[in-house]
Amino acid sequence: MAQLTYQDLENHYSKFISENSLRKKLVTFWLPDPKYSNLEEDSFLKSKKPKDDLIPLSLGLPNPGFFPIKSMDLHIVDHPFDGKDSKEAHNIASVTKKDPNEMNLPFVLQYGDTKGLSPLLDFIEDFVKSVGNQPLYEEWDTIIANGSNDSLFKIFETLADENTTVMVEEFTFVPVLSAVYGAGAKAIPIKLNIPVVNQNNYQDTIDRPFDIKDEGVDVDYLSDLLDNWSTGPYKHLPKPTLLYTVTTGQNPTGVATYMEKKKKIIELAKIHDFIIIEDDPYGYLRMPKFNRLNPEENLYAMDEFSRKRYLEELMIKSYLSLDDDGRVLRLETFSKVFSPGLRLSFISGNKYLIKQIHDYTDISTRGASSVSQSLVYSTLQTISKRDNKPMVEAWLDWIIQVAKEYTNRRNHILKAAYESESFKKGYFSVIEPSAGMFVDFEINFDSLNGEFSVIEGMNRIEKYFIKNGLGVVLGYKMALDTELSKDHCGLIRTAISFADKPEDLVEAINRLNISCIEFFEKRLESI
Amino acid sequence: MAQLTYQDLENHYSKFISENSLRKKLVTFWLPDPKYSNLEEDSFLKSKKPKDDLIPLSLGLPNPGFFPIKSMDLHIVDHPFDGKDSKEAHNIASVTKKDPNEMNLPFVLQYGDTKGLSPLLDFIEDFVKSVGNQPLYEEWDTIIANGSNDSLFKIFETLADENTTVMVEEFTFVPVLSAVYGAGAKAIPIKLNIPVVNQNNYQDTIDRPFDIKDEGVDVDYLSDLLDNWSTGPYKHLPKPTLLYTVTTGQNPTGVATYMEKKKKIIELAKIHDFIIIEDDPYGYLRMPKFNRLNPEENLYAMDEFSRKRYLEELMIKSYLSLDDDGRVLRLETFSKVFSPGLRLSFISGNKYLIKQIHDYTDISTRGASSVSQSLVYSTLQTISKRDNKPMVEAWLDWIIQVAKEYTNRRNHILKAAYESESFKKGYFSVIEPSAGMFVDFEINFDSLNGEFSVIEGMNRIEKYFIKNGLGVVLGYKMALDTELSKDHCGLIRTAISFADKPEDLVEAINRLNISCIEFFEKRLESI
């Protein structure tokens, strides 16, 4: 462990704090008045024995007796898509008044700490360590927020202002730009390497698969851009201090940035002194490589599969695990692996930066819903007890079950896509995702010989999708600079998460296929 | 109803929007591209019949089958401090998958609207109307936030910047200053009329009680300050555009501003063109006048008490009910009448201003915890069914039960205070609260002939409180300008909310009494 102190962190990272957030400090009325900190007790008082039961009329809290709910029972499922509606005792998470556990109902319904409720924070810390994602220094911390949108908002408010340039992946979760622009900052795109399977390279890439080392952030582009900033395309902007990256199952492209590149990017971050904001909502939903020769193969479903293999062969570790000087902020969320309605996320990073986000939280949202925190914690506690394993293992096993189902869905949609007439005719290509909720395709307009621009083409073919009953996201709308990303403007993002069953995805591909054939063939016939 | 349109509101109130919030706009990727809005369908497509079952692969939502909880049972109490732990069917609020009600579990655990879940919003609107708090114009709206701290933060971020002066009551909930200063704005104090009962006027004020019309915001001070701004004490600051007021059961003083004054303040707001931010967390916890001749008297406990009497004789209506041009924003919270751990509050006001707060919410927190919203809604629904009355009536009856218990506590503490030796000797005075969670006392240092300043005195006597096992808040720490508020710097705030039972408050007064006697008598003897 590096001997990095809080003071070291403050010395280095205070220059990153935004103008706007510097004045976001809590004004209190409950602390001792510093003017009178040296006031001595009167001589009479000195001889008096203090009472040991304080009546705390200073606290503006309601007594739990005023709360209208006395207990709460949560009925837990055995596995995702568990159709049973039984109420076995071992599947009930009870949150009661008398419960000896740390998260009893009066505690849950009361005001909670800004940072989060400590049992859940302790679990999170244990979990981060158990999957090997903790940083290489000791002075790190975690704060809970109200979903990753809130995490992002607080991070950019804290670290960005009119003098800030933020690097984001060329295709990105564009609502993040609201937070960047909202803080007054500018965003610039960083190229991604996006491996695309088309009819031409289909066979080749079975024999010689894409090297995953190449996938994700284009490190050469990034390095070149930063090394030659003063003569580059964005020389009119301040040199970037922040890199925002969705590292695994990238939204929208589905690609990942693997460890070898992460190491290089951390080195660049040190050289050029920027902070890495690693947004990883999909990281745990990692997918084994798609086996085109055996499309049903699902590593998660195999007998020999284990948590150990998941951690060693599948999960891509966080930038945090490579961070020895505190320049990584990692965002996770319970939205994708538990439920979005909780509005629960968390941020881990160096204690100085987390303290600044904590200060911002103190004066804005304060702690996230304790009820939501209780739902997560009590569920974890119950599945841990039910399955007779530690909470971190029980939770990882749940995540693995979710990832297994996503992999199954990925298998269905890719198999159907590769078998479709349109793929074979070269009308669209496929991006095999590394993880997460999205499988992307790219429409190939080459055969139209420039009849219209790719973007116009996308808006035209979208009408075919809709008429055929298929809703997708046009990827170019998630590009920061469609000129820079012109090679991939034919991208469509499909979410495999919301469908009721994997077979719906096969039907979706059927509709994609029909739309392409109609667009590329029948449309022309009718002209 | 005034014929105020959205455009009228925008025309008038757009000048109030802060620099900082103007750039807080959501960047989306799911809307149609305006460049191609006129793109026609190809002739082939025109003749094609559209499919009527869309497969929405555009939505990045998890299917509810991925959620680990299948249902939730809430066990509701019969009344505050209900000791029973029985689980009668009529007291169970079940949130299930199949439940036909609008708030079934898959809905609750999914992403929700930024503004709030519509069943709860509908209830809130019904409730606001049923108690007569809706404004005199039609274009008003409500948005849910993550507790009133979050409401305040969003309001000040939206309406305040470096060019803004905010008027606040001379004693106030000072954490609100975090939001004011955090937005870059200045705050100035407005005098309050605080009726104080001391040994000298005790009998007089039984015969001729204080006129409640005088209580609360000092309208003459406010009017004079604004009329003579350019020559007044704050002439170096921009003229105020915002008044922040905790209208009923004011924190910390416990006073209220009644309707007659509210009318005058609304008139001043029109003349001087400022917005009124009415923070009313305690308003429903209204207390009938304390009967010094019959201290146990509790109007809420009387047979003849009714919701009608509560609304007509007790509840002080909102500034909103007087607002015909959209200049009031009202804040309510579920923290004091349901539970703080929910982190649920709401803001009502004109649609243009609510839209700005909505925009801010879209890019920061997004919607509040749906789980918390579900807890409130399902509880209301269950007590409505159990008690066989509409939800708004069932909820008002719950509030009345809470207010009854607070009144009972108020009776206990005031009776003990007035009977205490220290009160009779003039060591402290009493402020009889209008509502809420706080009862204040004022330490009288007159007998010490200026031995030290009141503030030093407060820090000295606090040591006696602590040694005697009593925690209070020193009121001067909640004053904006202790010089302006010097007549009331002896104020202490006691919260009657957190004690387990009313008798604890009697013991607290016993400790206050002992502390005063020790401070004013034994201390002197020992010198």
DSSP letter for each residue of A169-210: ESB--THHHHHHHHTT-EEEEE-EE---B-TTTTTHHHHSPP
Length reported for chain A? 527
Q: What percent of chain A has pLDDT over 70?
A: 99
Neighbours of A14 (CB within 10 A): 12
CA distance B74 to chain A (A): 5
CA–CA gap between residue B147 and residue B341 (Å, rounded):
9
CA–CA gap between residue B386 and residue A125 (Å, rounded):
43
CA distance B285 to chain A (A): 12
Distances from the Cα of A284 to the Cαs of A255, A338, B222, B377, B514, in angstroms?
14, 12, 58, 33, 61
Contacts of A344 in chain B (CB under 8 A): 369
Among B42, B341, B367, select the one facing A109 at the smallest CB separation.
B341
Q: Which amino acid is at B223?
A: S
Neighbours of A47 (CB within 10 A): 9
> Residue A305 class from Cβ within 10 Å (0-12 exposed, 13-18 middle, 19+ buried)?
middle
Angle ∠(A11,A16,A17) on CA atoms, nearest 5: 100
Contacts of B470 in chain A (CB under 8 A): 54-55, 57
Tell me: the pLDDT tens digits for A151-189?
999 999 999 999 999 999 999 999 999 999 999 999 999
A63 contacts B82? CB cut-off 8 A: no
Neighbours of A301 (CB within 10 A): 11
B181 contacts A48? CB cut-off 8 A: no
CB B209 within 8 A of CB B197: no
Contacts of B179 in chain A (CB under 8 A): 363-364
pLDDT at B278: 98
* DSSP letter, residue B31: S
Best to test chain B binding among A24, A57, A157 (most B CBs inside 10 Å)? A57
Angle ∠(A337,A343,A348) on CA atoms, nearest 5: 75
pLDDT at A51: 95
Contacts of A494 in chain B (CB under 8 A): 57-58
Distances from the Cα of B129 to the Cαs of B9, B123, B249, B310, B317, in angstroms?
21, 10, 22, 15, 11
Token pair of A243 as six digits = 């890199």
CA–CA gap between residue B318 and residue B262 (Å, rounded):
9
The pairing of beta strand A242-246 with beta strand A165-169:
parallel
Q: Which helix (H) or strand (E) holds A129?
A: helix A118-130
Contacts of A504 in chain B (CB under 8 A): 55
Best to test chain B binding among A47, A69, A404 (most B CBs inside 10 Å)? A69
**Closest-CA residue in chain A for B496?**
A57
* DSSP letter, residue B310: I
A473 contacts B58? CB cut-off 8 A: yes
Q: CB-hemisphere CA count at 13 Å for A359?
A: 20
Neighbours of A203 (CB within 10 A): 10
A-B contacts at Cβ under 8 angstroms:
444
Q: Which helix (H) or strand (E) holds A492?
A: strand A491-495
Among B20, B182, B366, select the one facing A363 at the smallest CB separation.
B182
Contacts of A340 in chain B (CB under 8 A): 61-62, 109-111
**Closest-CA residue in chain A for B156?**
A364
Angle ∠(B507,B508,B510) on CA atoms, nearest 5: 60
B372 contacts A366? CB cut-off 8 A: no
Contacts of A181 in chain B (CB under 8 A): 23, 25, 27
CB B77 within 8 A of CB A68: yes
Best to test chain A binding among B86, B339, B374, B470 (most A CBs inside 10 Å)? B339
CB A377 within 8 A of CB A120: yes
Among A50, A177, A511, select the one facing B55 at the smallest CB separation.
A511
Q: Whose CA is closest to B427, among B527, B526, B513, B508?
A: B513
The model's pTM is: 0.97
| pLDDT at position A2 over 60 | no
Best to test chain B binding among A161, A164, A339, A437 (most B CBs inside 10 Å)? A339
Beta partners for residue B330, in sequence order:
B278, B348
CA distance B160 to chain A (A): 13
Contacts of A493 in chain B (CB under 8 A): 58
Q: Kindly report the three-state secondary structure assignment for every residue of A498-524.
A: CCCCHHHHHHHHHHHHHHHHHHHHHHH
Among A471, A518, A522, select the one facing B55 at the smallest CB separation.
A471
Give residue B469's region: left, alpha or beta (phi > 0; psi -120 to 50). Answer: left
CA distance A179 to chain B (A): 6
Distances from the Cα of B266 to the Cαs of A194, B12, B326, in angstroms?
61, 16, 11
A251 contacts B60? CB cut-off 8 A: yes
| pLDDT at position A47 over 80 | yes
B67 contacts A338? CB cut-off 8 A: yes
CA distance A275 to chain B (A): 21
Rounded mean pLDDT, A312-341: 97
Residues 6 or more apart in contact with residue B49 via CB below 8 angstroms: none
Length reported for chain B? 527
pLDDT at B2: 57
Q: pLDDT-based confidence at A100, cuts 50/70/90?
A: low
pLDDT at A89: 87
CA distance A187 to chain B (A): 13
pLDDT at A355: 98
| pLDDT at position A526 over 90 | no
Best to test chain A binding among B29, B186, B489 (most A CBs inside 10 Å)? B29
| pLDDT at position A87 over 90 | no
The pairing of beta strand B328-333 with beta strand B275-279:
parallel
**Closest-CA residue in chain A for B475?**
A29
B73 contacts A75? CB cut-off 8 A: yes
3-state secondary structure of B104: coil
Rounded mean pLDDT, A435-444: 97
A340 contacts B62? CB cut-off 8 A: yes
CB A165 within 8 A of CB A238: yes
One pLDDT digit (tens) per residue for chain B, 527 residues: 558 999 999 999 999 999 999 999 999 999 999 999 999 999 999 999 999 999 999 999 999 999 999 999 999 999 999 987 677 889 999 998 876 567 899 999 999 999 999 999 999 999 999 999 999 999 999 999 999 999 999 999 999 999 999 999 999 999 999 999 999 999 999 999 999 999 999 999 999 999 999 999 999 999 999 999 999 999 999 999 999 999 999 999 999 999 999 999 999 999 999 999 999 999 999 999 999 999 999 999 999 999 999 999 999 999 999 999 999 999 999 999 999 999 999 999 999 999 999 999 999 999 999 999 999 999 999 999 999 999 999 999 999 999 999 999 999 999 999 999 999 999 999 999 999 999 999 999 998 988 999 999 999 999 999 999 999 999 999 999 999 999 999 999 999 999 999 999 999 999 999 999 999 999 988 87
Rounded mean pLDDT, A4-26: 96
Rounded mean pLDDT, A409-429: 98
Q: Whose CA is closest to A188, among A447, A474, A481?
A: A481
Best to test chain B binding among A40, A49, A66, A470 (most B CBs inside 10 Å)? A66
CA distance A75 to chain B (A): 5
Among B23, B51, B459, select the one facing A39 at the smallest CB separation.
B459
Show the beta-strand stretches assigned E in A284-383.
328-333, 345-350
Among B41, B153, B493, select the one facing A463 at the smallest CB separation.
B41
> Residue B483 class from Cβ within 10 Å (0-12 exposed, 13-18 middle, 19+ buried)?
exposed
CA distance A379 to chain B (A): 8
CA distance B517 to chain A (A): 12
CA distance A309 to chain B (A): 23
Residues 6 or more apart in contact with residue A510 via CB below 8 angstroms: A416, A420
Among A75, A469, A474, select the one facing B69 at the smallest CB separation.
A75
CA distance B283 to chain A (A): 15
CB B81 within 8 A of CB A106: no
Neighbours of A450 (CB within 10 A): 9
A44 contacts B518? CB cut-off 8 A: yes
Residues 6 or more apart in contact with residue A119 via CB below 8 angstroms: A101, A102, A103, A377
A365 contacts B343? CB cut-off 8 A: yes
A25 contacts B110? CB cut-off 8 A: no
Cis peptide before A240 (omega within 30 of 0): no
A523 contacts B44? CB cut-off 8 A: yes
pLDDT at A1: 53
pLDDT at B266: 98
CA distance A156 to chain B (A): 10
Residues 6 or more apart in contact with residue A208 via CB below 8 angstroms: none
Q: CB-hemisphere CA count at 13 Å for B291?
A: 9
The pairing of beta strand B192-193 with beta strand B186-190:
unpaired
Tell me: the pLDDT tens digits for A113-147?
999 999 999 999 999 999 999 999 999 999 999 99
A68 contacts B81? CB cut-off 8 A: no
Q: What percent of chain A has pLDDT over 90?
A: 94
Question: First-to-last CA distance in chain A?
Answer: 69
B53 contacts A24? CB cut-off 8 A: no
